[in-house]
Amino acid sequence: MIWITSSVPPRDGASAVMYQIIQLIAEHFTWALTEQPTIDTRLREHLDLDSLHLVELQVAIEDQFRVTFDPTDEEFLDAFVTVGSLETYVHYLLEKDT
């Protein structure tokens, strides 16, 4: 089940980007959640997302943040490991585009 029920970001120091990524995971992969995702939640191992799911998540993140993932970028290779690594990559893309 989904534990994210509020549209207000958590106050535990999580960034707005992290909160939005967790929201996207909750919206697209409700079936994969047995507990609230955290910065250390592994996308493949903990959520059991396969490569097609990761592409779906990539598209959702690109739409949400208006960024474009670059598969030739070195940072891209490490982006889809944990929720935290996705957050880091999105921050990287947002800074790169400014």
The full set of domains in the chain, from first to last, is 35-96 (1.10.1200.10)
Name the pLDDT band for 2 (thresholds 50, 70, 90).
very low
Residue 42, helix vs strand vs coil: strand
pLDDT of amino acid 14: 63
Question: Residue 8: pLDDT above 70?
Answer: no
- The predicted model scores a pTM of 0.83
d(CA 26, CA 37): 9
Q: Report helix, strand or coil for 9.
A: coil
**Mind listing the pLDDT tens digit for each residue in 38-95?**
999 999 999 999 999 999 999 999 999 999 999 998 888 899 999 999 999 999 999 9
Q: What tokens appear for 25 in the block?
A: 């995971």
Give pLDDT, residue 69.
94
Helix and strand numbers (H, E) in the chain are: 4, 0
